[in-house]
Amino acid sequence: MWILRIGLIAIIGIFIGWLCTKIISQFPKRQHIFHSTKCNNCDTPIKPFQQLPIIGYFLSQGKCSKCGAKLPSFVFVIPIITPLLLILLFVKFHFSLSFFQYSLLIIAGILIFFLDLYHRIIPDLITLSIILVALIFSFFNDLGFWATLRGGAFCAGIFLLIAIIFRLITKREGLGGGDIKLICMIGFSLGFKLTFLTIFLSSVIGMIIYAFSKFRRTMLIPFGSFIVIAMFVSIMTGNR
């Protein structure tokens, strides 16, 4: 039964991962996910067999069939990491309320990670939707409604303070409104303790990357991507 459940999660995860690749590909163009996916280099429609999760990437050798330009690596990566992350959640939480809430949070995190990494976008549609989901779950989970509200409000305030300090030290706009809404989303979902851990971990990761990146003065650092990594680590290692 355990193996069957993991197999089911893996299949669903691969499908969800494929949908995520479609959303990430089409989002900057404001096209729906079932719109024809095109090569970013020559604008040629990607053939249906190339869009198959994981297999299609190997069949096409990761290249456009017309111009030979490389396909984005997330087309291959996301359908692999999505089921893996969901399986890890299942191993820890089983089929519990936490599993389903965190699964939605992780899927949103995957979208935000790659949208911020590739397009420097953290859509309000994702963060605000998960905040609403967290408020609904708060009536049924162990965190509770008021702790959910405190987690979102306090952690957003802390992150806003970090953004101001970062601005004063570096003289650059390192954190934007999207990052603050993202941490607010995590605060509503995880509560103060785990979100504070997420802020700490993401800040450490961000400072290390900023210190060693040779592009730090010319390129915006996708801090939202670091927050997502820290969020997953907090979920898997922390407790409320």
pLDDT at 133 over 90: yes
Q: What are the sequence ranges of the domains in the chain?
A: 1-82, 96-240
pTM over the 0.75 mark? yes
Question: Percent of the chain beyond pLDDT 90?
Answer: 36
Residue 100, token pair as written in the block: 């389903």
pLDDT at 181 over 70: yes
How confident is the model at residue 213, as a pLDDT?
63
Which backbone phi and psi does 19 adopt, to 5 degrees? -60, -40
203: Cβ contacts below 8 Å, ≥ 6 apart: 162
**Are 186 and 227 within 8 A, CB to CB?**
yes
Who wins on pLDDT, 71 or 141?
141
How confident is the model at residue 120, as a pLDDT?
85
How confident is the model at residue 37, as a pLDDT?
66
How confident is the model at residue 151, as a pLDDT?
83
The per-residue pLDDT for range 79-121, each reduced to its tens digit, is 999 999 999 999 999 999 999 999 999 999 999 999 998 888 8
